[in-house]
Amino acid sequence: MTHTRHDVTKLVICVWHPFTEWRPKPLMAESIRNRWPEMRVVHLPDYDALPPELPDTDIFVGYSLRAQQLKDAKKLKWVHSTAAGVAQLMYPELRDAGLLVTNPRGIFSVPMAEHTIGLLLALARNFPDSVRHQDRSRWGQQELWDKPQHLTELNGQVLLIVGFGSIGREIAKRARAFDLRVWGVTRSGNGDRTLAEKIVAAVQLPEVLPEADYVVIAAPETAETKHLFGAAQIGRMKRSARLINVGRGSLLDEGALVHALKSGALAGAALDVTSTEPLPAESPLWKAPNLLITPHTSAVSDRLWQRETALLMDLLERWFDGREMINQVDFARGY
C-alpha cells in the first residue's frame, strides 16, 4: 500500500451521534494540524457535508462509512474507526477494497474495567435498592437483608470473564485487589495467565458456567457471538450467580434474561448495553427484578478524546514513517 506524504494527504474526520460525547472534539483536528501543518484536515460536524469531501479523501476518521460513500471515495487508503466495535464496517465492499481499517481498541479498557467493578460491587451490596429506599426516605436495612440475595462479599468468589481481551484483562487486574478468583474465556483458550487462575476456550464455556459466581460478558460483537448467552447458558449458571454485560447487546438473549430474573433462576444482573439503544420505555428490561441498567456509559470518560487523539497521532506517525500499523481490524474475525 502506498503511503502518501503528509503534504499531499487529506484527512476527513466525520462522526455524528445523538450522544454528544461520541462526537470528536476539536482537540483531534487541532492536534493533527499542529503536528502536520501542510496536511489538509477537514472536521465535519455531521454527514450533510461529507459527499463532496469524499472523492479526494486519503484517510477517513469515523465509525460509519456506507458502501455508496465508499464507492465515491476514489483515493481512500485508510479508515480509522473512532468506535471499538466495527460490525457496521464489516460489509463486503469494504472488505474487498483492500483498505487498511484500524480501531481504537484498548483506549476504553480502563473506564470500562472501573465501571464493571462498580457494577460488581453494586450487585453484591445491593446499591440499587439502597438508592430506591433513599428516594422514598426509607431506612431499608431489614428489607435489604431479607431479600433472597443477601448482602454478600466479593472476596473468594469466582469471576468468569467471557472475552479476555484488553477490557477483560483490565477488569482482572482490579478484581484481584478484591481477592476475586478470576477465570477467563477466550476463543482459543490462550491468554495472560498471570492475571487469571484459569483460562479456557470458548467451547468449554458450558463446563465452567456452573462454577461462576459472577459472569462478565466483555467479548466483541461478531457473527459468532450473537446470542452467545441464551436460555441454555443462563440455565447453567447458579441461582445465586450474577450476570453482567458490558460487551454488546447482541451477545445476550434479553428475553431469556428477563425470564431467569423473574423466575428466580438468576440472582441478579447488570447491563451497560442493550440490543436496542436507546432502550425503549416499553422494554421489559426496565421492570425486570434485580436488574441494574447503566445507559452504555462504561466507556465514557472525561479523558476519552485525549486517548482517541493520542492513538490517532501515533497511528499517523507510523503511517507516514511506513512503520507497522497497530490496532488493525481483522476482517476474518470481525474485530
**Residue 110 grid cell:** 480502563
248 is catalytic: yes
DSSP 131-186: HHHHHTT---HHHHHHSSS-----TT-EEEEES-SHHHHHHHHHHHHTT-EEEEEE
**Residue 296 grid cell:** 452504555
What is the number of H-type helices and E-type strands within the chain? 11, 12
The catalytic position among 80, 221, 248, 254 is 248
Q: Give the gyration radius of the chain's Cα atoms.
A: 22
From residue 245, how far is each of 101, 145, 212, 293, 328 by CA, in Å? Answer: 26, 26, 15, 10, 25
Q: Where are the alpha helices (DSSP H) in 86-140?
A: 92-96, 109-125, 127-135
3 is catalytic: no
The catalytic position among 193, 277, 303, 323 is 277
**Residue 228 grid cell:** 452467545
259 is catalytic: no
CB 162 within 8 A of CB 215: yes
The catalytic position among 187, 221, 296, 308 is 296
The DSSP H or E segment spanning 199 is strand 198-201
Q: Which residues are catalytic?
A: 248, 277, 296
